[in-house]
Amino acid sequence: MPQVTLTVNGRQHTVDVEGRTLLVELLREKLGLTGTHVGCDTSQCGACVVHVNGESVKSCTMLALQADGDSVTTIEGLAAADGTLHPMQEMFREHHALQCGFCTPGMVMTAIDLVNAHPSGLTEKEIREGLEGNLCRCTGYHNIVKAIAAAHPLMHAKAAE
């Protein structure tokens, strides 16, 4: 059986997989990281978004073997060791940007990448367009947009420290 070696949330793993094993299956079923969700089978809902080498990727649309040697960050890897939430997580909570929580991990991972990619600022329109690949059925997106706008200065202030 093929093996894949990758770093997930800072920890290196070597895992036996099949050729067809998806990255999300490796995370959920082999590593027990069930925070990353599967909400569709056509690569549209974005519940499975993780970061691969710092960029948002749909982990349901990537083979585990493609991630060999890569560094993966999931929702479980965002908070500090002492439990302090990432500013994006904190702003989602502050602005009630989640209800059922199912789309939330993917939404947060996408949002962080979006903010990272736009250091000089994000308009409401850019945020809404940046969420193109993430579906939420609960919130109507209103508070998600607010949370991301609020997280932007916090994240870039932190980066400037």
Partner 1 sequence: MGFEGIGASVRRREDVRFLSGKGNYTDDINRPGQLYAFIVRADRPHARIDGIDTAEAEKAPGVVRVFTGADMAAENLGGLPCGWQIHNQDGSPMAEPPHPVLAVGKVRHVGDPVAVVIAETRQEAKNAAELIEIRYTDLPAVASLTDAVAAGAPEVHDGVAGNICYDWVIGDKATVDAVFAKADRVVKLELTNNRLIPNAMEPRAAIGDFDTSSGDFTLYTTSQNPHVIRLLMGAFVLHIPENKLRVVAPDVGGGFGSKIYHYAEEAIVTWAAGKVRRPVKWTAERSESFMSDAHGRDHVSTAEMALDKEGHFLGLRITTLANMGAYLSTFAPCVPTYLYATLLAGVYKTPVIYCNVKAVFTNTVPVDAYRGAGRPEATYLLERLVDVIAHDTGIDKVELRRKNFIPADAFPYQTPVALQYDSGDYQTTLKVALANADWNGFEARRAEAKARGKLRGIGISTYLEACGIAPSAVVGSLGARAGLYEVANIRVHPTGSVTVFTGTHSHGQGHETTLAQLVVDQLGVPLSQVEVVHGDTAKIPFGMGTYGSRSLAVGGSAMVKAMDKIIAKGKKIAAHLMEASVQDIEFKDGSFRVAGTDKAKALHEISLAAYVPHNYPIEELEPGLDETAFYDPKNFTFPGGCHIAEVEIDPETGVVEMVNFTAVDDVGRVVNPMIVEGQVQGGVAQGIGQALLESALYDPHGQLLSGSYMDYTMPRANDIPAMSVATENTMCTHNPLGSKGCGEVGAIGSPPAVINAVVDALKDHGVRHLDMPATAPKLWSIIQAAQPRLAAE
Partner 2 sequence: MYDFTYDKPGSLADAVKLLSDDMDAKALAGGQTFIPVLKQRLNRPSRVVDLAKLGLSGITVSGDKVTIGAMTTHATIASSAEIKAKIPGLQHQASLIGDEAVRHRGTMGGSLANNDPAACYPSAVLALGGTIKTDRRSIPADEFFQGMFTTALEQGEIITSIELPIPEKSAYEKFRNPASRYAIVGVFVAKFPSGVRLAITGAGQGGVFRHTEFEKALSANFSPDAIAGIKTPADGLNSDIHASAEYRAHLVNVVARRAVAKAG
For partner 1, the binding residue among 6, 24, 33, 115 (CB under 8 A) is 33
* Residues 148 and 88 sit within 8 Å (Cβ to Cβ): yes
Q: What angle do CA 155, 159, 160 make, to 5 degrees?
A: 120
Is position 11 an interface residue for partner 1 (rule: CB under 8 A)? Answer: no
Binding mask 43-72 for partner 1 (x = CB under 8 A): -xx-x-------------------------
Helix (H) or strand (E) holding 4: strand 3-8
115 binds partner 1 (CB under 8 A): no
Q: Rank residues 101 and 119 by Cβ distance to partner 1 and give the closer one.
A: 101
Among 1, 11, 12, 41, binds partner 1 (CB under 8 A): 41
- ∠ at Cα 30 (28, 33), nearest 5°? 35
Fill in the per-residue mask, 93 to 112: x = in contact with partner 1 (CB under 8 A), - = not in contact. Answer: xx-x-xxxxxxxx--x----
Tell me how far apart the terminal alpha carbons of the chain are, to the nearest angstrom: 46
